[in-house]
Amino acid sequence: MAVKNKNLKFRIDVSAYRLLGRELITDRITALFELVKNAYDANANKVDVIFHSVNTNTGESKISITDDGLGMTLDDLRNKWMVIGTSDKRRSRVSPPPYNRKVVGKKGVGRFAVDKLGSKLLLKTTQKGSDKLICLETDWSYYAELEEKQLKIDFERNPDQEQFFTDIENRYWVEASDVETQGTSLEISLISECWTETDLKRASTELAKLISPNHASKFPLKIFLQSNEFEVYRKKEIVSLGIQYSTIEASLNFNFKTGKQEILRAENGELTKVLVDKRACGYIKLHIYYFNASAKAKFKKAFPSESIDGIKVYRDGLIATPFAEHAVSQNEQKDLLGIDKRRWSYFFDRVGTRDLLGWVEISDELNPEIVDATNRQNFVDNEAWRELRVFVIEQLRQIEGCIIQRRDTQKEQVDSELKGAGDDLSTIRKELNRLGKLAPEKMRKTLGVLEKKVAKTQASVNKGLKDKINLETEKKQQESLMFSLISLQTFSSTLAHITRTIIGRIKRTSEFFRDRFPDTQYNDVFKRGAHKIFFEMERLSGAVDFMLKYAKSDSSIEPVDVKITLENLFNNIHDYSFKQENIQTELIVKKELILNYNQTAFEDIIENLIDNSVKALVCNRETRRIKCECNIENDKLIILFSDNGCGIKEADKFRIFDVFYTTTADEGGAGMGLFIIKTRMEAFQGSIELVESIFKPSGATFKLSFSFKK
């Protein structure tokens, strides 16, 4: 059958108004945002958001949004406002001079936000120099009616004559206008929901977040909220919230010329800045404020309607759409940056979104790859957005480090003060005793009582100090136990895997023996089988020995034979995985070395390094190598541990020792390894650092230094 070429075109069903408005823009405060954003793009200086009799829904209820922006001509209205997804704003990314605002509406659907607020819209617009005020009326309820009608089953209906979205005509007319005025006003009636005072308060708080307080502009946009019903909102200017009372604050910038980005470093309870290469997310400006419990209380008292609600992303000074989605309660607020998702928050002194206020400043020009997802709920999941999240979390980690350092210093101070108090009391007691001997009879008795009281107080102070120290030691032990358990978990699952494989081999070999022996044709098989059983049993014994060491106490310091320990790890314990992954190992220990250390901790460190190297070697398709070399330098054991795997990116160098920082999540990395090593090393006055790879240009080399002293 011959088929003739014909053409078909897309048509749009009337229900599209719902998809674009009510369903794309999920709540009414977001809808307000969208409309105010349009005003921003039109170079408005001022937007009035007026709520008229909205507390109860009557025929009088109206919401209007009026700006003094550039306005539209009839042509604009026809070719821009009435065109869905109009490309105009995408073509010119900057609003007309002298404002040069980065335009924020890009999808050309913001105007459908109106439908979320009410079903009837009266738009009036005029430009400077024109004496015409153009008025357009859109009645979304008409679209709804039509949709309803089309949904009904009607056998008589003729699909070809049905009206589509674009067939519906909206009435417009022209009124007279002052030549000098300009702007656009949207009057929305037949409102869909009532607005209470709480709703207005929310609208006001949320609108305040629209513009970043840190983005300096010569032409700011002022937003006013008005209501005829609520006294507070007679005419309220919406101002961005002032930051006061924060415990820690930090601002990061970048240097475009040198290609460097600032990041935070915590040192001795202070935050400093370090310059690193630009990250994959592009240049970032960040303002971040941390509030501890008492700071939060002060803040809440000073700004009762504001809340400390985390870090938000602003693009060119204006809040990025995914963050503009308003949530009714803080619990429902989306944690797009993943701040609260981090595990064990109570354990590792995590800060959460409720302790933080922050502004991440990005721009269209410098961070073009960070793009809103079409549903406006999130950003497109790409490398840039992921890297931005990592960047923010990385800074938070430094703040956390700073908090811990400060607390530790404070703790030491308290300890020494307590001890000082105890000493003072002892002096007073001695003094009282001496005075007692000199004083007359009558006074001696009183002095004796006093001395006893002082003695008692001294005892309590000393006991308190001791209890405190005990408690801290206990807490430290718990933490260290936690770390061993985590590595134990990974270890035991590997061990179970190996054990099961070994048991299977032994079982089947002996089963064969049981069922077939004697049988001359299998004599050789029987003999090989016996050898195999013996060999596999030896391997099992080794695994059990290793497992048992974990059961031993964790804190004792004992002589560790470096050579034997390393040989055991390389040639027995990990031999299996090295062979499986085709990894060539080279272990250089010149002579026998005894280190006063903790056996398990030492093994843990090397285990974790081996583990990391195996993961890093995945990408290497050539000869895979791991080299471990021991040397002695000035009373110190230096271990250089290297592999020729994928190496560590320049950008990652500062953060590889952070807990839960991982680049090998796909290979099962949890970001614990290097953190465990670092804490273990530091606990014994050792250190670990990343040095130049001996396998350069690829690979990585870690330099570990252990002290021989006890």
Partner 1 sequence: MKSQSTIIIIDDQVQDEELLIVIKENYADVIVYNSSTEAIKNLSRHYGHRIIILLDLSFPTNQINGHQVLERIRESNTLIPVIIFSAVNENESGFSDLINNSAFGFLKRDASLKQILDMLQKAEFFLKTSIGGALEEWIKTHSEEELDRPYLVSVDGNNFTLKELLSEVRLQTEVGQSFSKSLSKLTIDLLARGRENLND
Task: Give contact residues for partner 1 (rule: CB under 8 A).
Answer: 493, 496-498, 500-501, 503-505, 507-509, 511-512, 515, 522, 525, 528-529, 532, 580-582, 618, 621, 667
- Closer Cβ to partner 1, 280 or 525, answer by number: 525
| Residue labelled with tokens 């002096």 | 427
In the complex with partner 1, which residue's Cβ is closer, 217 or 493? Answer: 493
Q: Name the minimum Å distance from CB 503 to partner 1.
A: 4
Strands 118-126 and 636-643: unpaired
Containing H/E element for 560? strand 558-561
In 3D space, the residue among 66, 41, 70 whose CA is nearest the CA of residue 187 turns out to be 66
How many Cβ atoms from other residues are within 10 Å of residue 85's Cβ?
10
Q: Torsions phi, psi of 311, nearest 5?
A: -105, 135
Pick the closer one to partner 1 by CB: 443 or 619.
619
Q: How far is CA 409 from the centre of its chain?
A: 28
Torsion of CA 486, 490, 491, 497, to 10 degrees: 150
Q: Which helix (H) or strand (E) holds 443?
A: helix 441-516
Residue 353: phi, psi to the nearest 5? Answer: -60, -25
Contact 69, 183 (CB under 8 A): yes
Nearer to partner 1, 348 or 512 (CB): 512
CB 559, min distance to partner 1, A? 37
Residue 687: strand, helix, or coil: strand
Token digits of residue 676: 């465990």
Q: Residue 659 Cβ, how far from partner 1 at the closest point, in Å?
A: 24
Beta-carbon-side half-sphere exposure of residue 321 (alpha carbons within 13 Å): 27
> CB-wise, 664 or 701, nearer to partner 1?
664
Longest dimension (CA), the chain: 132
Report how far residue 345's alpha carbon sits from residue 619's, in angstroms, rounded to the nearest whole number: 33
Q: Toward partner 1, which CB reaches closer, 5 or 580?
A: 580
Query: What are the residues whose beta carbons fall under 8 Å from the beta carbon of 97, sequence distance 6 or more?
Result: none
Q: Does residue 64 contact residue 277 with C-beta atoms inside 8 Å? A: no
- CB-nearer residue toward partner 1: 139 or 536: 536
Shortest CB 550 distance to partner 1, Å: 20
Q: How far is the CB of 506 from partner 1 (least distance, A)?
A: 9
The Cα–Cα gap between 17 and 29 comes to: 19
Total residues belonging to the chain:
710
Six token digits for residue 573: 């314990």
Q: CA nearest 664: which of 679, 642, 649?
A: 649
Rounded to a whole number of angstroms, the minimum distance from the CB of residue 493 to partner 1 is 7
In the complex, what is the shortest distance from the CB of residue 265 to partner 1, in angstroms, rounded to a whole number? 34
* The three-state (H, E, C) secondary structure of 599-646, written as one string: HHHHHHHHHHHHHHHHHHHHHCCCCEEEEEEEEEECCEEEEEEEECCC
Q: Please, which residue, 516 or 649, has the CB nearer to partner 1?
A: 516
CB of 541 to partner 1, least distance (A): 17
Neighbour tally for 563: CB within 10 Å: 15
How far CA 66 is from CA of 38, 63, 171, 226, in Å, comes to: 11, 10, 21, 11
Residue with Cβ nearer partner 1 (498 or 640) = 498
Which residue, 152 or 500, has its beta carbon nearer to partner 1? Answer: 500
Instruction: Provide, rounded to whole angstroms, the least separation between the CB of residue 583 and partner 1.
Output: 10
Give me the least distance between CB of 571 and partner 1, in Å please: 19
Least distance from partner 1 to the Cβ atom of residue 544, Å: 16
Nearer to partner 1, 489 or 555 (CB): 489
Q: How far is the CB of 670 from partner 1 (least distance, A)?
A: 15
Residue with Cβ nearer partner 1 (510 or 707): 510
Contact by Cβ (8 Å): 70, 45:
no
Q: Closest approach of Cβ 621 to partner 1, in Å? A: 7
* Cα separation values, 602 from 85, 577, 704, Å: 62, 20, 11
CB 120 within 8 A of CB 138: yes
For partner 1, the closer of residues 390 and 617 by Cβ is 617
